[in-house]
Amino acid sequence: MSVIVIGGNPGTGKTMIAAELSKKLELPVVQLGTIAEENGCIREHDDQRSSNVIDEDCLVEAIHNLFYENDEDFIIEGHYVDLVPSRKVKEIIILRTHPDVLRERLLERGYDKAKVNENVEAEVMGVCQMDAIFSFGEDAVYEIDTTSISVDECVNTIIEILGSNKKPEHIDWMDLLEEQGILEDYISL
Ligand SMILES: Nc1ncnc2c1ncn2[C@@H]1O[C@H](COP(=O)(O)OP(=O)(O)OP(=O)(O)O)[C@@H](O)[C@H]1O
Ligand SMILES: [Mg+2]
């Protein structure tokens, strides 16, 4: 049994794309956020960053139980995908979105400025992708830019990746923004 993992920053499209992929492949989707909630793995709510602080040991155990209880393939989506045991993961898809478009999507959700900036900065630096590569190895981590493709196109790209031995391509917003001479506008260091 193996799982398809979909990760990425908030607003990159994980939930929408996992739902559509689930329909096409007829596989159930598990949302890590829901697993964390249902298993009491949310330690506290960080009001300043308006986000939940996860008890990682608790979530690792909950994910372990999930694998123990299921013997069919499924899709996992959410943050903290690096907590999924790597021996169960064949391919991991990290969704990426151009920082400007991601900013728009997050502002539309009504996130405050600090939270938007924090997430846009994480996207610029490629934090999710680096964490995934660290956990699963460079050859297992595929990145898809959802900036200007439809959900359907993205799902088809994922299906192509799953059935092939394609080498992963990596997306680097830092390079692009640096070339344009505007990287400092995105990073608050
Ligand atoms: N090609 C695309 N793929 C996915 N989402 C897209 C795309 N184009 C635009 N969007 C928009 O981006 C948003 C993605 O929201 P979604 O809830 O799926 O993100 P998420 O990664 O699950 O976020 P979170 O981590 O907060 O759960 C939606 O508002 C959707 O309409
Ligand atoms: Mg989601």
Ligand 1: which residue has its CA nearest to atom 4?
13
Q: Which pLDDT belongs to residue 189?
A: 59
Q: What is the mean pLDDT of the chain?
A: 93
The angle subtended at Cα 125 by Cα 80 and Cα 90, nearest 5°, is 45
Sheet holding 29-31, edge to edge: 29-31, 74-77, 3-8, 89-96, 141-145
Confidence of residue 47 (pLDDT cuts 50, 70, 90): confident
Q: What domains appear along the chain, each with residue ranges and CATH number?
A: 3-185 (3.40.50.300)
Q: Ligand 1: which atom is nearest the Cα of residue 33?
A: 27
3-state SS class at 44: strand
Model pLDDT, residue 135:
94
64 has pLDDT over 70: yes
Task: Tell me 75's DSSP state.
Answer: E
> Does residue 147 have its Cβ closer than 6 Å to ligand 1?
no
Which of 12, 17, 80, 145 maximizes ligand 1 atoms within 8 Å of its Cβ, making it the mutation to test the pocket?
Answer: 12
The closest alpha carbon to 9, from 159, 124, 176, belongs to 124
**134: helix, coil or strand?**
helix
Q: Which atom of ligand 1 is nearest to the CA of 108?
A: 29
The 10s digit of each residue's pLDDT in 24-40 is 999 999 999 999 999 99
pLDDT at 2: 85
- Per-residue pLDDT at 13: 97
For residue 109, the ligand closest to its alpha carbon is 1
The pLDDT of residue 165 is: 85
Pocket lining: 154 vs ligand 1, CB cutoff 6 Å: yes
Residues above pLDDT 70, as percent of the chain: 99
Instruction: Tell me how far apart the alpha carbons of residues 79 and 91 are, in angstroms, rounded to a whole number.
Output: 16
C-alpha of residue 147 to centroid of ligand 2, in Å: 16
pLDDT of residue 130: 96
* Ligand 2: centre distance to CA 181 (Å): 32
- Please indicate whether residue 52, judged by its CB atom, sits closer than 6 Å to ligand 1: no
What pLDDT digit, counting tens, does each position of 78-127 carry?
A: 998 999 999 888 889 999 999 999 999 999 999 999 999 999 999 999 99
